[in-house]
Structure 1
Amino acid sequence: MPKNKGKGGKNNRRGKKEDGENKRELIFKEDGQEYAQVVKMLGNGRLEAKCLDGESRLAQIRGQMRKKVWIVVGDIILLSLRDFQDDRADVIHKYTADEARNLKTYGELKDFTLVENAEAGSEEEEEGIEFEEADIDDICELYSCSEYTFEC
Protein backbone atom coordinates (compact mmCIF):
# COMPACT_ATOMS: atom_id res chain seq x y z
CA MET A 1 0.00 0.00 0.00
CA PRO A 2 1.35 3.42 -0.92
CA LYS A 3 1.51 5.97 1.84
CA ASN A 4 -0.59 9.07 1.68
CA LYS A 5 1.86 11.74 0.53
CA GLY A 6 -0.42 14.78 0.35
CA LYS A 7 -2.97 16.60 2.37
CA GLY A 8 -6.15 14.75 1.53
CA GLY A 9 -9.56 15.40 0.19
CA LYS A 10 -10.97 16.87 -2.95
CA ASN A 11 -11.52 20.24 -1.26
CA ASN A 12 -7.77 20.63 -0.87
CA ARG A 13 -7.19 19.68 -4.50
CA ARG A 14 -9.77 22.19 -5.68
CA GLY A 15 -8.25 24.92 -3.54
CA LYS A 16 -11.36 25.63 -1.48
CA LYS A 17 -10.00 27.14 1.68
CA GLU A 18 -11.88 29.53 3.93
CA ASP A 19 -8.77 31.59 4.77
CA GLY A 20 -9.51 34.18 2.12
CA GLU A 21 -6.69 32.91 -0.08
CA ASN A 22 -9.20 32.29 -2.85
CA LYS A 23 -10.03 35.96 -3.43
CA ARG A 24 -9.72 36.92 -7.06
CA GLU A 25 -9.56 40.19 -8.92
CA LEU A 26 -12.85 41.60 -10.17
CA ILE A 27 -13.16 41.32 -13.96
CA PHE A 28 -14.92 44.16 -15.78
CA LYS A 29 -16.40 43.90 -19.27
CA GLU A 30 -14.47 45.00 -22.35
CA ASP A 31 -15.45 45.60 -25.97
CA GLY A 32 -17.39 42.65 -27.35
CA GLN A 33 -18.45 41.49 -23.87
CA GLU A 34 -21.69 41.93 -21.92
CA TYR A 35 -23.00 41.24 -18.41
CA ALA A 36 -25.96 38.87 -18.22
CA GLN A 37 -28.12 36.93 -15.81
CA VAL A 38 -28.96 33.26 -16.34
CA VAL A 39 -32.66 32.80 -17.09
CA LYS A 40 -32.85 29.12 -17.98
CA MET A 41 -30.48 26.16 -18.11
CA LEU A 42 -30.92 24.21 -21.35
CA GLY A 43 -28.49 21.34 -20.86
CA ASN A 44 -25.46 20.22 -22.87
CA GLY A 45 -23.50 23.27 -21.72
CA ARG A 46 -26.05 25.76 -23.01
CA LEU A 47 -28.17 28.35 -21.25
CA GLU A 48 -30.49 31.25 -21.92
CA ALA A 49 -29.29 34.58 -20.54
CA LYS A 50 -30.87 38.04 -20.28
CA CYS A 51 -28.20 40.60 -21.13
CA LEU A 52 -27.82 44.08 -19.69
CA ASP A 53 -28.55 45.57 -23.11
CA GLY A 54 -32.06 44.06 -22.95
CA GLU A 55 -31.55 41.16 -25.36
CA SER A 56 -32.02 37.50 -24.56
CA ARG A 57 -29.21 35.32 -25.91
CA LEU A 58 -28.44 31.62 -26.16
CA ALA A 59 -25.06 31.10 -24.51
CA GLN A 60 -22.56 28.26 -24.60
CA ILE A 61 -20.40 27.50 -21.54
CA ARG A 62 -16.80 27.36 -22.71
CA GLY A 63 -14.89 24.11 -22.32
CA GLN A 64 -12.51 25.36 -19.65
CA MET A 65 -15.46 26.15 -17.36
CA ARG A 66 -17.43 22.93 -17.90
CA LYS A 67 -17.52 20.58 -14.89
CA LYS A 68 -15.39 23.06 -12.92
CA VAL A 69 -17.67 26.09 -12.51
CA TRP A 70 -21.31 25.35 -11.72
CA ILE A 71 -23.77 27.84 -13.15
CA VAL A 72 -27.40 27.96 -11.98
CA VAL A 73 -30.43 30.12 -12.73
CA GLY A 74 -30.01 33.65 -11.34
CA ASP A 75 -26.20 33.79 -11.57
CA ILE A 76 -24.50 36.86 -13.02
CA ILE A 77 -22.15 35.95 -15.85
CA LEU A 78 -19.89 37.66 -18.38
CA LEU A 79 -20.64 36.84 -22.00
CA SER A 80 -18.39 37.16 -25.01
CA LEU A 81 -20.55 38.31 -27.91
CA ARG A 82 -20.13 36.79 -31.34
CA ASP A 83 -19.53 39.06 -34.32
CA PHE A 84 -21.33 36.78 -36.75
CA GLN A 85 -24.32 35.75 -34.55
CA ASP A 86 -26.03 38.46 -32.53
CA ASP A 87 -28.41 36.11 -30.71
CA ARG A 88 -25.64 33.78 -29.47
CA ALA A 89 -22.74 34.23 -27.04
CA ASP A 90 -20.13 32.35 -25.00
CA VAL A 91 -19.90 32.32 -21.19
CA ILE A 92 -16.39 33.34 -20.20
CA HIS A 93 -16.78 34.15 -16.47
CA LYS A 94 -19.20 33.55 -13.58
CA TYR A 95 -19.41 36.13 -10.80
CA THR A 96 -19.96 35.13 -7.18
CA ALA A 97 -22.68 36.86 -5.17
CA ASP A 98 -20.10 39.17 -3.53
CA GLU A 99 -18.56 40.08 -6.87
CA ALA A 100 -22.01 40.82 -8.32
CA ARG A 101 -22.77 43.14 -5.40
CA ASN A 102 -19.43 44.87 -5.97
CA LEU A 103 -20.22 45.33 -9.66
CA LYS A 104 -23.56 46.88 -8.67
CA THR A 105 -21.86 49.32 -6.28
CA TYR A 106 -19.36 50.28 -8.99
CA GLY A 107 -22.29 51.09 -11.28
CA GLU A 108 -21.51 48.38 -13.84
CA LEU A 109 -24.85 46.61 -13.33
CA LYS A 110 -27.11 49.64 -13.43
CA ASP A 111 -30.84 48.99 -14.02
CA PHE A 112 -30.22 45.29 -13.53
CA THR A 113 -32.14 43.22 -11.00
CA LEU A 114 -30.03 40.82 -9.03
CA VAL A 115 -32.07 37.75 -8.17
CA GLU A 116 -30.48 35.63 -5.48
CA ASN A 117 -31.19 31.90 -5.67
CA ALA A 118 -32.51 31.74 -2.11
CA GLU A 119 -34.81 34.71 -2.63
CA ALA A 120 -36.20 33.46 -5.94
CA GLY A 121 -37.85 30.44 -4.33
CA SER A 122 -39.31 32.34 -1.39
CA GLU A 123 -41.08 34.96 -3.53
CA GLU A 124 -43.28 32.43 -5.27
CA GLU A 125 -46.71 32.20 -3.72
CA GLU A 126 -48.36 28.85 -3.42
CA GLU A 127 -51.78 28.78 -4.97
CA GLY A 128 -54.15 26.46 -3.16
CA ILE A 129 -57.74 25.35 -3.51
CA GLU A 130 -60.27 27.17 -1.38
CA PHE A 131 -63.23 25.22 -0.05
CA GLU A 132 -66.53 26.65 1.06
CA GLU A 133 -68.04 25.54 4.34
CA ALA A 134 -71.04 23.31 3.91
CA ASP A 135 -74.07 23.32 6.20
CA ILE A 136 -75.09 20.13 7.94
CA ASP A 137 -78.52 20.45 6.25
CA ASP A 138 -76.90 20.30 2.82
CA ILE A 139 -75.04 17.15 3.78
CA CYS A 140 -78.23 15.54 5.13
CA GLU A 141 -80.06 16.33 1.89
CA LEU A 142 -77.23 14.75 -0.05
CA TYR A 143 -77.50 11.44 1.80
CA SER A 144 -81.30 11.27 2.07
CA CYS A 145 -81.42 8.81 -0.83
CA SER A 146 -83.13 5.47 -0.17
CA GLU A 147 -79.89 3.66 -0.86
CA TYR A 148 -78.19 5.15 2.19
CA THR A 149 -79.46 5.14 5.74
CA PHE A 150 -77.94 8.28 7.16
CA GLU A 151 -79.54 10.04 10.08
CA CYS A 152 -78.89 13.60 11.02
Structure 2
Amino acid sequence: EQLGQTVGLEVDQEYLGYLGTQHELMPGAMAMLKQAQRLGYQLGIITNGVAKVQKSRLSESGLAPLFSSVLVSETVGVEKPDPVIFERFFATSEVAPERSIMIGDGLPSDIVGAHKAHLASVWYNPRRVANTSGVTPTVTVANH
Protein backbone atom coordinates (compact mmCIF):
# COMPACT_ATOMS: atom_id res chain seq x y z
CA GLU A 1 0.00 0.00 0.00
CA GLN A 2 2.90 2.38 0.77
CA LEU A 3 4.37 1.76 -2.70
CA GLY A 4 1.01 2.57 -4.32
CA GLN A 5 0.81 5.87 -2.45
CA THR A 6 4.39 6.77 -3.42
CA VAL A 7 3.79 5.98 -7.08
CA GLY A 8 0.52 7.90 -6.97
CA LEU A 9 2.27 10.99 -5.58
CA GLU A 10 5.00 10.73 -8.23
CA VAL A 11 2.42 10.49 -11.02
CA ASP A 12 0.49 13.42 -9.54
CA GLN A 13 3.64 15.59 -9.44
CA GLU A 14 4.55 14.61 -13.00
CA TYR A 15 1.02 15.48 -14.17
CA LEU A 16 1.16 18.88 -12.44
CA GLY A 17 4.53 19.52 -14.08
CA TYR A 18 3.10 18.85 -17.53
CA LEU A 19 -0.04 20.84 -16.75
CA GLY A 20 2.14 23.82 -15.86
CA THR A 21 3.50 23.90 -19.41
CA GLN A 22 0.07 23.85 -21.05
CA HIS A 23 -1.39 27.10 -22.30
CA GLU A 24 -3.18 28.30 -25.36
CA LEU A 25 -3.85 31.99 -25.76
CA MET A 26 -7.06 33.05 -27.39
CA PRO A 27 -6.64 35.01 -30.63
CA GLY A 28 -6.01 38.66 -29.81
CA ALA A 29 -5.54 38.09 -26.06
CA MET A 30 -1.90 39.19 -25.90
CA ALA A 31 -2.53 42.26 -28.05
CA MET A 32 -5.54 43.27 -25.95
CA LEU A 33 -3.62 42.91 -22.68
CA LYS A 34 -0.64 44.85 -24.01
CA GLN A 35 -2.95 47.61 -25.25
CA ALA A 36 -4.66 47.77 -21.84
CA GLN A 37 -1.24 48.07 -20.21
CA ARG A 38 -0.18 50.83 -22.65
CA LEU A 39 -3.37 52.70 -21.78
CA GLY A 40 -2.34 52.64 -18.13
CA TYR A 41 -4.59 49.88 -16.82
CA GLN A 42 -3.16 47.83 -13.99
CA LEU A 43 -3.67 44.12 -14.63
CA GLY A 44 -4.03 41.47 -11.95
CA ILE A 45 -5.13 37.85 -11.78
CA ILE A 46 -7.16 35.91 -9.26
CA THR A 47 -7.10 32.25 -10.25
CA ASN A 48 -8.24 28.98 -8.77
CA GLY A 49 -5.74 26.17 -8.80
CA VAL A 50 -2.31 25.03 -7.71
CA ALA A 51 0.16 27.93 -7.38
CA LYS A 52 3.09 26.12 -9.02
CA VAL A 53 0.96 25.16 -12.03
CA GLN A 54 -0.75 28.51 -12.50
CA LYS A 55 2.45 30.54 -12.19
CA SER A 56 4.23 28.21 -14.61
CA ARG A 57 1.40 28.57 -17.12
CA LEU A 58 1.57 32.36 -16.88
CA SER A 59 5.31 32.32 -17.38
CA GLU A 60 5.25 29.78 -20.23
CA SER A 61 2.53 31.75 -22.06
CA GLY A 62 4.48 35.00 -21.90
CA LEU A 63 1.69 36.70 -19.93
CA ALA A 64 3.42 36.94 -16.54
CA PRO A 65 5.17 40.31 -17.16
CA LEU A 66 1.84 41.97 -17.95
CA PHE A 67 0.35 41.38 -14.49
CA SER A 68 1.37 43.35 -11.43
CA SER A 69 -0.49 41.06 -9.02
CA VAL A 70 -1.26 37.34 -9.16
CA LEU A 71 -3.16 35.49 -6.46
CA VAL A 72 -3.73 31.74 -6.62
CA SER A 73 -6.43 30.11 -4.52
CA GLU A 74 -4.05 27.49 -3.13
CA THR A 75 -2.11 30.21 -1.29
CA VAL A 76 -5.28 31.66 0.25
CA GLY A 77 -7.05 28.43 1.13
CA VAL A 78 -10.32 29.40 -0.59
CA GLU A 79 -11.39 29.51 -4.23
CA LYS A 80 -13.51 31.87 -6.29
CA PRO A 81 -16.38 32.61 -5.83
CA ASP A 82 -15.59 32.98 -2.11
CA PRO A 83 -15.31 36.75 -1.47
CA VAL A 84 -12.34 36.12 0.85
CA ILE A 85 -10.05 35.53 -2.14
CA PHE A 86 -11.07 38.89 -3.60
CA GLU A 87 -10.53 40.61 -0.24
CA ARG A 88 -7.06 39.07 0.03
CA PHE A 89 -6.20 40.15 -3.52
CA PHE A 90 -7.07 43.77 -2.82
CA ALA A 91 -5.34 43.70 0.57
CA THR A 92 -2.08 42.41 -0.95
CA SER A 93 -1.99 44.40 -4.19
CA GLU A 94 -2.05 48.04 -5.17
CA VAL A 95 -5.27 47.47 -7.10
CA ALA A 96 -8.31 49.41 -5.88
CA PRO A 97 -11.59 47.44 -5.83
CA GLU A 98 -13.67 50.48 -6.75
CA ARG A 99 -11.62 50.86 -9.94
CA SER A 100 -11.61 47.17 -10.84
CA ILE A 101 -13.49 44.97 -13.25
CA MET A 102 -13.48 41.19 -13.05
CA ILE A 103 -13.17 39.66 -16.52
CA GLY A 104 -13.72 35.93 -16.75
CA ASP A 105 -15.23 33.02 -18.59
CA GLY A 106 -16.35 31.12 -15.50
CA LEU A 107 -19.86 32.16 -14.57
CA PRO A 108 -19.97 30.26 -11.24
CA SER A 109 -16.46 31.27 -10.17
CA ASP A 110 -15.56 34.58 -11.85
CA ILE A 111 -18.88 36.35 -12.29
CA VAL A 112 -20.65 35.06 -9.17
CA GLY A 113 -17.42 35.78 -7.27
CA ALA A 114 -17.31 39.34 -8.61
CA HIS A 115 -20.94 39.81 -7.61
CA LYS A 116 -20.24 38.57 -4.07
CA ALA A 117 -17.23 40.91 -3.88
CA HIS A 118 -19.30 43.86 -5.22
CA LEU A 119 -17.22 44.23 -8.38
CA ALA A 120 -18.24 45.08 -11.92
CA SER A 121 -17.85 42.10 -14.22
CA VAL A 122 -17.42 41.11 -17.84
CA TRP A 123 -18.48 37.57 -18.66
CA TYR A 124 -16.73 36.13 -21.69
CA ASN A 125 -19.33 33.68 -22.99
CA PRO A 126 -18.39 32.65 -26.56
CA ARG A 127 -20.58 29.54 -26.47
CA ARG A 128 -23.58 31.66 -25.42
CA VAL A 129 -24.29 29.44 -22.42
CA ALA A 130 -27.54 30.27 -20.65
CA ASN A 131 -27.06 32.18 -17.42
CA THR A 132 -28.97 30.30 -14.72
CA SER A 133 -26.88 31.65 -11.83
CA GLY A 134 -29.27 34.38 -10.75
CA VAL A 135 -26.37 36.87 -11.09
CA THR A 136 -26.28 39.35 -13.96
CA PRO A 137 -22.82 40.36 -15.17
CA THR A 138 -22.23 44.06 -15.89
CA VAL A 139 -21.40 43.14 -19.50
CA THR A 140 -21.49 39.89 -21.48
CA VAL A 141 -19.18 39.43 -24.46
CA ALA A 142 -19.91 36.53 -26.80
CA ASN A 143 -17.09 36.73 -29.32
CA HIS A 144 -13.55 38.01 -29.62
TM-score, structure 2 normalization: 0.28
Determine which structure has more spread, i.e. the larger CA radius of gyration: 1
Higher helix share: 2
